[in-house]
Structure 1
Amino acid sequence: MGDEQAIIVDREPVVHRFTVEEFLALDEAGAFDNLGRVELIEGEIFEMSPLFLPHGSILAELTASVVIALRERFPALSALTPVSLRSDDHSLPEADLLVVELNGTEGDLATPDIVRLVLEVSASSLRHDLGRKLRLYARTGVPEYWVADVKGRRILRFHSPSGEAFAEQAEFAFGDMIASATIPGLLVDTARLR
């Protein structure tokens, strides 16, 4: 090589974080067809567990209770399930239930500005729902987040997002009447949860 010296740069590999647009393009191209349910969290693609009967049963009962409570007093709010929430440029979680205000909303994806409450049912994903998802929802300003812990037979209610956490938390047993912390007058009956 003569007088030339090879320059060796010691550099860590660069991690590519997928954007929502890249994730949607991959989905449309069929990249996830053999995986089942997937979601994008902080640029990483997660394959979610299958939805077993306990998850489906709890979600159905909570959805019915939320819909009934909304119809009685909140005609401007809708309960959607399941629906993708474009939380930021690198996250597209598929929430089990969203309470949203759809008036004048444009686009195909829910965004944090229309979300009033997010609910996740955790039959096998409690650590994920109370970890990465909780931090994501807090960071993107979701005003209220509920996690139905199927094994623990409880619902955790979080509100007042601050950074990557929620300043307020409460716990309710299955069977309790739960009042929303951020939607005054919204009461959800969980008496039928098994």
Structure 2
Amino acid sequence: MNKPVRLAVESVPETLFTAREYLRMHDAGAFTDMNVELVRGELRKMMSGGFSHGALNARLIAKLITAYSATDRCLAVDLMIGIGPLTIRGADIAVVMPDVPSSGPVPPDRVVQIVEVSVTTLGTDLGEKQAEYATVGVPDYWVADVDARVMHVMRSPEGERYAEHSVVPFDQPLAVPGTAETIVVA
């Protein structure tokens, strides 16, 4: 008598990359000509932004350089931020303390502010990235919503969220953290 037999399917163990492995691959040139983040052990390819993303990024960095010019803060674009042993994020703009390492990801306790320019990534920027940055204590997190022409300004991290969250139109002044300066995005 023939009986149906169910074959046991071998489950493939989940293979996650660590931040250390990601950095070795990065330093060896594995990600040449591509932007890649490490998110909870998985590699995520990030697409380069279009003109609206790049133009707003350039305007914001110019305004923030001026606003922070009287401080010891340093600014960078496309900076790696170390979130944990399985996550390294890329920030569009980061304002950091002057004593950050010259290579590798910046430790989150050296980050003063992160700004993300969002054309197609608003859900991620206001969702998982916001939660990660709050969890590691990034004091100020801004997300520029290009389509809505507003800046989401988040301050005072508490757990996986920010206690303060305001939405400021691009044509209104924004207080620049750690300075007496304001900027207008428009």
- TM-score bracket for the superposition, by shorter chain length: 0.7 to 0.9
Deviation at 1:124, TM superposition (A): 1.1
Whether 1:173 aligns to 2:169 is yes
Corresponding residue SS for 2:49: coil
Superposed CA offset, 1:45-67 (max 9, x none): 11112221000000000000100
Deviation at 1:158, TM superposition (A): 0.6
Whether 1:82 aligns to 2:78 is yes
Corresponding residue SS for 1:17: coil
* 2:37 aligns with one of 25, 39, 43: 39
5+ residue gaps, structure 2:
1-7
Whether 1:115 aligns to 2:111 is yes
- Change in CA separation of 1:143 and 1:53 when aligned onto 2, cut-off 3 Å: same
User: d(CA) in 2 for partners of 1:185 and 1:41?
Assistant: 35
5+ residue gaps, structure 1:
1-8
Q: Which residue of 1 aligns with 2:182?
A: 187
CA-atom RMSD in angstroms: 2.1
User: Which amino acid is 2:49 matched to?
Assistant: L
Deviation at 1:24, TM superposition (A): 1.7
* 1:68 aligns with one of 66, 69, 90: 66
TM-score (ref. length: structure 1): 0.83
Asked if the contact 2:109/2:136 (under 8 Å) is kept, the reply is no
User: Which amino acid is 2:31 matched to?
Assistant: F
Q: Which residue of 2 aligns with 1:4?
A: none
Q: Which residue of 2 aligns with 1:26?
A: 25
Deviation at 1:179, TM superposition (A): 0.8
Q: Which residue of 2 aligns with 1:164?
A: 160
Asked if the contact 1:49/1:124 (under 8 Å) is kept, the reply is no
Q: Which residue of 2 aligns with 1:6?
A: none
Q: What is the percent sequence identity of the aligned residues?
A: 31
User: Which amino acid is 2:183 matched to?
Assistant: V
Whether 1:91 aligns to 2:91 is no
Deviation at 1:16, TM superposition (A): 2.8
Deviation at 1:166, TM superposition (A): 1.0
